Amino acid sequence: MSIQNEIKQCINNIQSAFNANSFEPFIKYMRFPNFKNIEKEERIDFDFPFTVLTGLNGSGKSSALHALYGAPYGKSTSDFWFNTNVDPILDDSGNPNCFIYGFNNPSLVEILKQRTGIAKGSDYWEPQAPAKKYNMIGAGRSKRSAPIRKEVRYIDFREQLSAFDKYFYFGKFYSTKTLKTKQDVLRKYSQYLKNNIENSGRKSFDKRKVNKQIKLNANELAAVCLILGKNYSECNLLFHNFYNVDGVTIYFVTNNLKYSEAYAGRGEFAVVKLVYEVLNAPNNSLIILDEPEVSLHPGAQERLKLFLLRQTLIKKLQVVVSTHSAKLVEYLPDASIKLFYENSNGRFAIKNKCNYIEAFQNIGLEITENEKSLIIVEDITAKLLISSILRDLGAEFELLFAVKFFPGGAEQMYKNTVGYSEENELHKFVLLDGDKKKPKLNPDNFSMMENSDFNFIKSKLLESTGIDFSKLGFRIDGGQNGGDTAQKISSSIRYLKFIYTNLNYLPKGIPEELIWDKDFANSILNALNKQVPNYGIDLKLNINEFAATQFGDTSSHSILSAKKQLIDNFIRKKGEDYEAIKTVILGYKEMIENQ
């Protein structure tokens, strides 16, 4: 199974377990009556156990993570956000900074955590009784509800520094007769560290020692290997102060090398720390990850997502990730993606359901035409119509689909579709005019057809396309009229399955029949004091007459403008034909998300 399919299967399994309430206790939502620069009364809904917060830098994602960290019993937001002379925390009109979250205990309760700023210090956050002014559940009660009890693991990947890096880049250095540089210090004390690695003993020197040494178990090591795509035979974590700072050294062993984090990349160090924290967190823990993609290439980011989704399901974790990574956002359900953005008054707002394609656009990732799924139509009018409907459906549809038309008509498009089926191009969709509509096979017939006579299958191809097998252009060894019969059968069935799912028809006959509205056209001409033409039965000619009367000519530009007017009217009316096309497009979107 491909990693993408495993990710999608994992998401489906998480959703089923979540629907069965297997993740309780679970923070269901968080709202912000007055918290930092987040829009007042903004809210995050946690509708899925794996949640990503995305958006441009400085849009409030880390602020939300700090509030979430401070939600459970025994945790305080002041660990990350506290008052200083340079950056004082200002309460708004006497309203202290606070946040509210809801969870089931066993029915829904709301917890208000507020920065008190009185006897217990300006940075003390304390649960309060439900407040009427915030329209809280249970408002008016003097007794406050107990906060949710969840273990919390917060990892900020921008701050993941090893013992080596802490000393080399930020540690204090005092020159002596024998230690002239920081490199000299590292050389000297690395010998004591090496003794501990090789002998697993806490050998100290000058009050410096290994405080704790951990060897990753088989499960932990396998997870590190999966994410990083390397084969480690051993990995050790040593918590020590040999470099005169409290830090962590990670020692890697492969078949060819033995090395510490001084030689390893930042990504290796960060992944080991993450894996250890997640696998050793209790079930039902809250895992908060701030930009875990730092120093990881896209393939490792995708495997990291798979690891996190697996652990979310196995351990029933609530995982919240702040990220700018396309790989971490890609293919997640809309309810899992929270888009942070700055609104017109400079405060941070949150869109609670966001398609991953829309998220890409908002974090500055350009979706090229080649990366979009393709809807193929017969002519320019159909292209204008479908493109306009995609625009009407919203940005995520415009970003997800490109619309193209190929010359040659329906027969050529049936032949082109043979190539799509043979190459398994499941992101290509064909939408023919309604006057070419053919009956669709019942999918129950497909398994039965595998044991059918080829002449029967040929008849089904002809019935479904109007074209004989020999003219469709199948790539058969030995030519279409000769060749292997089994190959002909398998290619034909694959094609019939493809057109069942990926080929549809517009309502009515031709696109002009969908958009032509004589009353609308006449209303425009009457408003312009133009004489209404005598329309005939040819709808294409009627549109040309409408264009000529309105604009004075039948140039391609004038006809195009007239068609756009008619299409806008078609979309504005939202009639049954519009709804039929919308249903087809929604089906395409669902197919893409389930692939």
State how far the Cα of 72 lies from the Cα of 134, in Å rounded to an integer.
20
Distance CA 559, CA 549 (A): 11
CB within 8 Å of 333: residues ≥ 6 apart: 11, 15, 48, 593
Q: How large is the C-alpha radius of gyration of the chain?
A: 32
pLDDT at position 483: 66
Q: Give residue 111's pLDDT.
A: 92
Under 8 Å between Cβ of 335 and 47: yes
How much is the pLDDT for 207?
Answer: 66
Q: Where are the domains of the chain?
A: 3-151+285-362, 159-278, 367-451+498-595
DSSP label at residue 205: B
Check residue 70 and give its pLDDT. Answer: 93
Q: How far apart are CA 516 and CA 9, in angstroms?
A: 45
Instruction: Please list the ranges in the chain whose pLDDT falls under 70.
Output: 1, 85, 87, 91-94, 117-122, 158-160, 169, 171, 200-207, 261-265, 361-371, 407, 478-483, 595
In the CATH hierarchy, which fold is given to the domain comprising 3-151+285-362?
Rossmann fold (3.40.50)
- Are residues 542 and 536 in contact, defined by beta-carbon separation less than 8 angstroms? yes
Give the CA angle between residues 336, 340, 344 to the nearest 5°.
Answer: 145
Q: Give the pLDDT of residue 266.
A: 73
Q: Can you tell me the distance from the alpha carbon of 301 to that of 307, in angstroms, rounded to the nearest whole number?
A: 10
DSSP H/E element including 156: strand 152-156
Which helix (H) or strand (E) segment holds residue 396: the answer is helix 395-400
pLDDT for residue 205: 57
* Whole-angstrom distance, CA of residue 244 vs CA of residue 227: 32
Q: What pLDDT, on the 0 to 100 scale, is given for residue 370?
A: 61
Per-residue CA distances from 379 to 293, 348, 418, 433 (Å): 44, 44, 20, 9
CA distance 250 to 238: 6
**Could you tell me if 266 and 160 are in contact, meaning their C-beta atoms sit under 8 angstroms apart?**
yes
Q: Are 511 and 382 in contact (CB under 8 A)?
A: yes
Q: Which helix (H) or strand (E) holds 319?
A: strand 318-322
Q: What is the rounded CA–CA span in Å between residue 403 and residue 286?
A: 43
pLDDT the model gives residue 92: 65
pLDDT digits (tens, 9 = 90+) for 100-148: 999 998 889 999 998 875 556 667 888 888 888 889 888 777 788 889 9
Give the Å distances, CA to CA, from 176 to 179, 205, 247, 433.
5, 17, 23, 85
Question: What pLDDT is attached to residue 456?
Answer: 87
- Written as six digits, the tokens of 366 are 């350009």
How far apart CA 489 and CA 325 sit, in angstroms, is: 44
For every residue of 5-37, which 3-state class applies, written as one string? HHHHHHHHHHHHHHHCCCCCCCCCEEEEEEECC
Read off the tokens for 332: 């997640």
Answer for the pair 361, 324: CB distance below 8 angstroms, yes or no.
no
- The 8 Å CB, 24+ separation contacts for 567-570 are 567/384, 567/385, 567/388, 567/515, 568/388, 569/515, 569/517, 569/520, 570/385, 570/514, 570/515, 570/517
Sign of CA dihedral 439, 444, 450, 456: negative
